[in-house]
Amino acid sequence: MTTSRSLQTLLVVCLVQWSQPFMRSVASEVSGDPRRRLSHDRPLSPFFSQAAGSWETAAPCDRLEMHLWDELRGPKCVLVLAKRDPSLLPEVEEIVTYLQDTFDMTVVVERMVMEALLKSPRIRSMVGPEKLRPLLVTDDPTADESKLVVIDGLEDSELQEIVEEEQEDIDAVVTLGGDGLVMHASTLFGSGKPVPPLLCFNMGSMGFLTPFEFHEYRTILDAAFRSPGVPITPRTRLDCSIMRKGGVIEHRHVLNEVVVDRGASPHLSQLECYVDGAHLTTVQADGLIISTPTGSTAYSMSAGGSMVHPSVPAILLTPICPHSLSFRPLMLPATSEVRCEVPEDNRSSAWVSFDGKSRKAMQRGDALVVSTSSVILPTVSRSSTTVDWFSSLQRSFSFNSRVRQKPFFNGGDPGTGEREAMAPEEPRKSLEAAEPMEPVEAMDAQMKTNSEV
């Protein structure tokens, strides 16, 4: 009996030690920074782990994704982003003052937003200058990319170091807008360092990536910042480079997709497409979409591509109006490297756009190289990755909505219309109609699951 209990105790200890990586959100300390507890280093697949030369199935990647705050200091600095709409300024002011009063946080905002906030007597009286700082990148809506603010007396390299230090200090990002603002937030963190979790409030049009409503911001912020951590959806990004004569002339990170198209040319785009160095096909179409699973429900879906769960490690290739009926959308492993070259004998040049903006011309002989970025973009989940994704499909797209089929005739002749009396069927509740889980309950349930595994 004693031996049996000893074995059980040993088994429990082993299980606890084995589960620690999952309780840390498959996390490791990144660059020695204890605040960054989430890291994805381009694994072969989250569904398999290779040990001792054999393949072993691992836990599904959907159930234990958590971002843990620093155990000693907690979240202290928050970046607040809002879409460029003057009517949202009262909501931004409300968020800033609440973060200050309740959590004594340092708030970072974009420069144009800060100038507008400082005109408010309430902000000037309540928020000290050391607690409200401008973000050191341009917020010019006409700019093709995020650029550094010019500061007299500083070299670009020195300013870049300051910006990187500022980004390291940011513990979380709060967005007030739509999906476009989430993609804008992604462009602000393009270096190789971890991205803080994004807490997204739906104040835009579609809101596929923004599961929270602004009217519940107090409950959401309290649940997020008073808990040891928050449940997240880790979203892969694409690392994109335009090559010319052996050198890189453009480098970007995208959250949704990178698109190569024919631009204003009346001729088809002709691209030589390679995957991991092997020639895949010659693309003759209006263009080619290379997207992430997050971007699968955007331009790729409109062009006939599949909708892919954000936890699936993959790169999607979707042709735009191909000149061949057999050229169908493809899904490649996330470890693949895709290379699209503009051949020298092409009738015209090609154009590249990154997340729907920042168009760049590709000359004959240029190549676009795309791979999965080593840095993910974590967005805070309302319930879980799967439940949030299904809810977004139904809310934003009315996914598979139709009139429910009536029951078949029972015991009667369908031709005569006779049928037995049947009790009316209870209507099924959709995810959208179901009562949403309170954020505090969702995060508590997630933490409880972590401790039980």
> Is 179 a residue of the active site?
yes
Going by their DSSP bridges, the two strands 377-380 and 229-235 should be labelled as antiparallel
Look at the block and give the residue holding tokens 């843990």. Answer: 68
Catalytic entry in 62, 179, 261, 366: 179
3-state secondary structure at position 26: coil
Rounded-to-integer distance, Cα 351 and Cα 337, Å: 20
Quick one: DSSP state of residue 376? Answer: -
Rounded-to-integer distance, Cα 278 and Cα 338, Å: 10
Rounded-to-integer distance, Cα 198 and Cα 179, Å: 12
Please give the C-alpha separations between residue 382 and each of 75, 342, 344, in angstroms, as whole numbers.
19, 43, 50
What pairs with residue 404 in β-bridges?
none
Rounded-to-integer distance, Cα 66 and Cα 407, Å: 44
Rounded-to-integer distance, Cα 137 and Cα 142, Å: 14
Q: Which residues of 325-340 are buried (b: 16+ CB within 10 A; e: fewer)?
A: eebebbbbebeeebbb
3-state secondary structure at position 425: coil
Give the length of the chain.
Answer: 453
Please give the C-alpha separations between residue 93 and each of 89, 109, 172, 249, in angstroms, as whole numbers.
6, 11, 18, 40
Name the residue among 343, 294, 341, 345 with its Cα closest to residue 315: 294
- Neighbouring C-alpha atoms within 13 Å toward the C-beta of 110: 23
Other CB atoms within 10 Å distance of the CB of residue 230:
27
Rounded-to-integer distance, Cα 225 and Cα 97, Å: 15
Rounded-to-integer distance, Cα 303 and Cα 220, Å: 36
Amino acid letter, residue 288: L
Quick one: DSSP state of residue 225? Answer: H
Q: Is 210 exposed, middle or buried (0-12, 13-18, 19+ CB in 10 A)?
A: buried
Rounded-to-integer distance, Cα 51 and Cα 380, Å: 31
HEC string of 29-61 equals: CECCECCCCCCCCCCCCCCEEEECCEEEECCCC
The catalytic residue positions are 179
